[in-house]
């Protein structure tokens, strides 16, 4: 349905393709960890090369700059996130099932790939706007389209209220999903979730997620 459009998604040099898989993985793994925990500005590319046991010279033969290394990672992360969402959609019976699965997937993704989420958080920051610009055209197109189509189809099928604006609804839904995801990535948002929901209630996460799903569903179904 939605076609993943790979334009010039190459922020690394050819050399990076030619080196061993092992080296490639090691570089990316270490870089992800460093960027995720220190943020872009406070991460040192020398540190990464040291921790990855790769010479700084090699590093610069793989990536033209710190920025490009960062972009490579971010790029990968986007594809991963989008892919997961697409999987959810494809394996859902209907919009209700889909929303339910998306809430769960948001949490699971954040817990399985906390670093990617933290890096994502970093990018949304104004300071990195010059970086997000370089990803621009393909950044966040899949999810909006996916949600949009999902609602449109549900509307057509008479499953949800025809009066709702599907664009705005998609936006609101994703706002909830995104913030829920963040609530399992950065310590800040973790704390915020705790304040909102209460530590005790968080012990029964299934219950919380049911309430979230209910909130969204109530917003969309006919009265």
Nearer to its own copies, 52 or 216 (CB): 216
| Secondary-structure breakdown of the chain: helix, strand, coil percentages, each rounded to the nearest 5 | 75, 0, 25
Nearer to its own copies, 91 or 211 (CB): 211
Alpha-carbon gap, residue 112 to 78, rounded angstroms? 15
Q: HSE on the CB side for 194, CA within 13 Å? A: 8
Nearer to its own copies, 64 or 91 (CB): 64
Query: Which are the contacts of 188, defined by CB distance < 8 A and separation ≥ 6?
Result: none
Candidate segments 44-52, 81-89, 104-112, 125-133, binder of DNA by CB under 7 A: 44-52
Which of the choices DNA, its own copies, none does residue 25 contact, using the CB cut-off of 5 to 8 A by kind?
none
Minimum CB distance to its own copies, residue 135 (Å): 10
CB atoms within 10 A of CB 118: 21
Residue 46 binds its own copies (CB under 8 A): no
Alpha-carbon gap, residue 144 to 173, rounded angstroms? 10
Residue 79 binds DNA (CB under 7 A): no
Tokens of 46: 């020398």
Q: Which 157-176 positions form the footprint of its own copies (CB under 8 A)?
A: 161, 163-165, 167-172, 174-176
**The Cα angle at residue 156 between residues 151 and 159, in degrees rounded to 5:** 70
Are the C-beta atoms of residues 35 and 73 closer than 8 Å to each other?
A: yes
Give the end-to-end CA distance of the chain in Å, rounded to a whole number: 31
Residue 127 binds its own copies (CB under 8 A): yes
Pick from 29, 39, 54, 92: which binds DNA (CB under 7 A)?
A: 54
| Residue ranges binding its own copies (CB under 8 A) | 36-42, 118, 121-129, 132-133, 136, 139-141, 144, 161, 163-165, 167-172, 174-176, 178-180, 182, 185-189, 191-193, 195-198, 201, 208, 211-212, 214-216, 218-220, 223
| Residue ranges binding DNA (CB under 7 A) | 14-15, 18-20, 23, 42-47, 54-62, 65-67
């Amino acid at each position: 349905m939605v076609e993943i459009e790979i334009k010039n998604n190459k922020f690394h040099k050819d050399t990076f393709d030619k080196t061993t898989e092992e080296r490639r993985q090691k570089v990316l793994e270490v870089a992800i960890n460093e960027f995720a925990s220190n943020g872009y500005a406070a991460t040192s590319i020398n540190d990464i090369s040291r921790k990855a046991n790769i010479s700084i010279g090699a590093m610069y033969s793989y990536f033209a700059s710190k920025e490009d290394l960062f972009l490579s990672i971010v790029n990968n992360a986007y594809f991963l996130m989008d892919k997961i969402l697409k999987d959810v959609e494809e394996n859902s019976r209907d919009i209700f099932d889909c929303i339910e699965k998306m809430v769960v997937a948001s949490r699971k993704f954040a817990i399985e790939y906390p670093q990617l989420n933290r890096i994502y958080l970093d990018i949304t920051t104004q300071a990195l706007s010059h970086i997000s610009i370089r990803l621009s055209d393909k950044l966040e197109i899949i999810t909006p389209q996916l949600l949009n189509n999902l609602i449109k189809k549900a509307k057509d099928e008479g499953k949800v209220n025809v009066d709702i604006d599907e664009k705005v609804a998609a936006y609101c839904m994703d706002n909830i999903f995104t913030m829920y995801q963040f609530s399992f990535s950065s310590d800040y948002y973790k704390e915020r979730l705790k304040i909102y929901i209460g530590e005790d209630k968080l012990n029964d996460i299934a219950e919380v997620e049911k309430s979230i799903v209910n909130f969204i569903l109530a917003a969309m179904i006919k009265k």
